[in-house]
Structure 1
Amino acid sequence: MADEQGDPRHLDTLDRDLARFSNIELATSYASRPMVGPGVGLVFVLLAGISAMLFTGMENNSFIVLVAACLGAYMALNIGANDVANNMGPAVGANALSMGGAIAIAVVFESAGALIAGGDVVSTIAKGIIAPESMGTTATFIWAMMAALLSAALWVNVATWVGAPVSTTHSVVGGVMGAGVAAAGFAAVSWSMMGTIAASWVISPVLGGGIAALFLWLIKSRIIYRDDKIAAARVWVPVLVGIMAGVFSSYLVLKGLKKLISVDLGTALLMGAVIGVATWAVMIPVIRRQSEGLENRNKSLKVLFGIPLIVSAALLSFAHGANDVANAVGPLAAIVQASQSGDLSDTVGIPFWVMVIGAFGISFGLFLFGPKLIRMVGGQITKLNPMRAYCVALSAASTVIVASWLGLPVSSTHIAVGGVFGVGFFREWDAERRIRKARLAMPDRATYAPEERRRRKLVRRSHFMTIIAAWIITVPAAAILSALIFTLINLAMR
């Protein structure tokens, strides 16, 4: 009888079995991979709740604080997954940063912005949407804030899943409005403030897109379309970097460093002007050295914009962390204060442990779920290179300065995405202009048919329509969801 261990057929069968086992392991790893992010996120949410109980000393309302901390952590995860893409998407889309590098920079600067300069005092009733006294009792106020926080987080989660960057501030505003109406009626809502917020839906993207297009026109007309591109770049790139330094200095003083230093708009602009001129002077020899040996073509220009683009993305992340962390922890801080002291106040100080939950939540959300929106903003709306992405980043900061000067309400999300749209639509207009110019110069030259030209549009209309629709319905969707959640909580507590 033949030894089975030495039978080659036995070895073939063993190889096939091992191959099947390897395939099963591979399939299992692919199937389980999508669950890693939600699993880690759930662990973070639970740890945030437990930490909140420990920090508040396990008092009578510790369960309320635990639930509120979990909701705040969930909201922070969603802010990281959705909002941060607006800052990092252009740099990744332009290949100035890898996805890993973008996430690492954003995690560091978002956390630093939240912890160093994050909202020391926040209007927890979403910037005056409803009056706390209209809620009646402390319990009603707490349930309303919980409903607002949960509805805003759920809406941002849905928007991220769909692939639409939305304003987390508008989501919180909608949530607070819906809970306020459900708790105290339509009279409790400040409709003038809602009108101001609605105006930002139009003002933010139009202003951001216009300023981004203006900077792209400047780069094209003064550098790209010149015969000697490198010589033109040596003159204009230091100017553009100086503008960036001045604008971002003013932006950070006004928006990102309010906790550390408080100055008026005029002083901020003066500080920005001084820093901008100094940066321009420093960059002249730097750009001259960088441009030595570069070929006279557009591709060479990308080298000169790479580092400024990375720096601008980092500064935007710092300012975003300082400002938008309040969307996650503002309502949470209000709930903590109301549950412990019974005080219904328009503004509350935010404890440090609450800020830590917000900062870590944004970082975890970006790391676990951010790449999808980063890719969409950076590469799926329109094609970006370092020059175009630089215009978007510069527009994001410039628009806030202009809006502050004019007293206009703006949304950072709408500004950044509007900047991407502005760059794309400007490229379409510029391409059409050049085609018309070529046709006038050479009437017999063949051109694209109208159908082919429509197909070759430089901005994807499907993404454009999806994002615009998401912006329009953010406040009403969050409001309706919040009202439903508040009603269910009220029924359950009776």
Structure 2
Amino acid sequence: MVVVTTLTLLVAGVASLFMAWSIGAGSSGSTPFAPAVGANAISVMRAGLVVGVLGLFGAILQGANVTEAVGTELIGGVTLTATAAIVALVTAAILVAIGVFAGYPIATAFTVTGAVVGVGLAMGGDPAWPKYTEILTLWVLTPFVGGGIAYGVARTLIGDRLPERALTAALAGVVGAIVANVGFALLGPDGEQASIAEAVSVELGVPGGVGVLAATVAMAALVAAAVYVDIGRDREGAQRRFLLVMGGLVAFSAGGSQVGLAIGPLVPIFSEVGVPLWALLVGGGVGLLAGSWTGAPRMIKAISQDYASMGPRRSISALIPSFAIAQTAVAFGIPVSFNEIIVSAIVGAGYAAGDAGVSRSKMGYTVLAWVASLAGSLALGFGVYSVVRLAL
């Protein structure tokens, strides 16, 4: 019996690594630096290498919320078994891998969520309607909010009503304020996360809202001032550096969000045998890293060139809302598709230049792929697990 259990856990772990590789090669590995590649700020191969490392750190430092949500909050009344986790992960990973090799960014969160819900319903579980409401709300709003903000920021940056130097510095300050309030595992007590602003306020002896607000304003001002000075020295170089920093922040956020899609289904079964969550996060992060290094370049090219022709300013405009939405999803433990986030923002920023380079046909096929991936993974997860259960 022990041998069977060990073998089952091993198969589940391999399925999770396959899913992590597929995600690294697809959404988390390709989307964060796609706008930077499109703006010729970094090469395709170097982007794949950098995003893999940053995704690994994000998975370890921020991955707990989404991981626990995927593993325990998508279905009620039952606990995912090892067999159910394997079926869900393999089903989702195959669909994502098909998208990678076909050159279409399949929405990873859609496939994993659909597969987990499908196998959970096949096990006799109850739908978790409150969680579904949260998830669907974010999924539906993302294209409009992310694309709309990207459009507005890009229109402002490429216009001549406001001074570009001051506006770019102000946008950098907003990013600094967001970073100040991002939760990190290393800054909080065991099992919890804390933000830089919270840690600074406690360290200075000014806990509570006042301390957090003061630390946030201070960090925003420092970042804005640094970017303002940098632009004064070298405008084009400063834009490129700001763009690369934004790509790095989005890559870090991708690791914190997407690792949960790969290892979340394993949480119930591995926790029973005493495997800590941090060990699963490290393993999932390594899988993301491998996928980014080996399979991401193909998708980076597809997203950076096929959806819209991007310059540095429009690329920055796309990455700012992408970072904000990603961190919102991580904070609330909501599985979200980075393909949906980035592609929507790229299209919004692309339209800011009067439809320049935006591929309507490519976008239409992508949306169809997103819908099909959710419906298909749910149906396949339910059907495959039902067949496996009968066979066993």
- For 1:95, the equivalent position in structure 2 comes to 40
Q: Does 1:472 align with 2:385?
A: no
CA contact (8 A) 2:66 2:335 kept: no
- Alpha-carbon RMSD across the aligned residues, in angstroms, is 3.2
- For 2:344, the equivalent position in structure 1 comes to 418
Q: State the SS of the aligned residue for 1:114.
A: helix
For 2:40, give the aligned amino acid. N
Q: State the SS of the aligned residue for 2:8.
A: helix
CA contact (8 A) 1:255 1:323 kept: no
Shift of 1:65: 0.9
Shift of 1:333: 3.0
Output the TM-score relative to the length of structure 1: 0.68
Shift of 1:309: 0.7
Q: State the SS of the aligned residue for 1:61.
A: helix
- For 2:111, the equivalent position in structure 1 comes to 171
Distance 2:68 2:316 in 1: 33
Matched residues, percent identical?
25
- For 1:491, the equivalent position in structure 2 comes to 390
Q: 1:419 to 1:277 in 2, by over 3 A?
A: same
For 1:247, give the aligned amino acid. I
Shift of 1:173: 1.3
Larger radius of gyration: 1
Match of 2:22 among 75, 78, 97: 78
Distance 2:246 2:186 in 1: 14
Deviations 1:397-428 (A, max 9, x none): 23457789999996443222110111122222
Higher RCO (CA-CA < 8 Å; seq separation 6+): 2
- For 1:453, the equivalent position in structure 2 comes to none
Q: Does 1:397 align with 2:318?
A: no
Q: 1:257 to 1:118 in 2, by over 3 A?
A: farther
CA contact (8 A) 1:256 1:318 kept: no
- For 1:361, the equivalent position in structure 2 comes to 287
Shift of 1:375: 0.9
CA contact (8 A) 2:253 2:327 kept: no
- For 2:277, the equivalent position in structure 1 comes to 350
For 1:284, give the aligned amino acid. Y
CA contact (8 A) 1:126 1:172 kept: no
Q: Does 1:245 align with 2:196?
A: no
CA contact (8 A) 2:146 2:322 kept: yes
- For 2:98, the equivalent position in structure 1 comes to 158
Alignment of 1:19-418 (within 5 A): 61-84=5-28, 85-119=30-64, 122-123=67-68, 125-126=70-71, 128-131=73-76, 133-134=77-78, 141-184=81-124, 188-222=126-160, 232-250=163-181, 252-253=182-183, 261-262=193-194, 271-291=215-235, 302-338=236-272, 340=273, 349-352=276-279, 354-400=280-326, 411-418=337-344
Structure 2, unmatched stretches of 5+, are: 199-207
Q: State the SS of the aligned residue for 2:340.
A: helix
The number of residues matched between the two structures is 376
Deviations 1:299-328 (A, max 9, x none): xxx433100111111121112212321211
Shift of 1:243: 2.6
Q: Does 1:428 align with 2:354?
A: yes
Q: State the SS of the aligned residue for 2:364.
A: helix
Structure 1, unmatched stretches of 5+, are: 1-57, 227-231, 292-301, 342-347, 430-456
Shift of 1:277: 0.8
For 2:109, give the aligned amino acid. T
Shift of 1:358: 0.9
Moved more, 261-270 or 233-242: 261-270
Distance 1:260 1:69 in 2: 25
Q: 1:402 to 1:129 in 2, by over 3 A?
A: closer
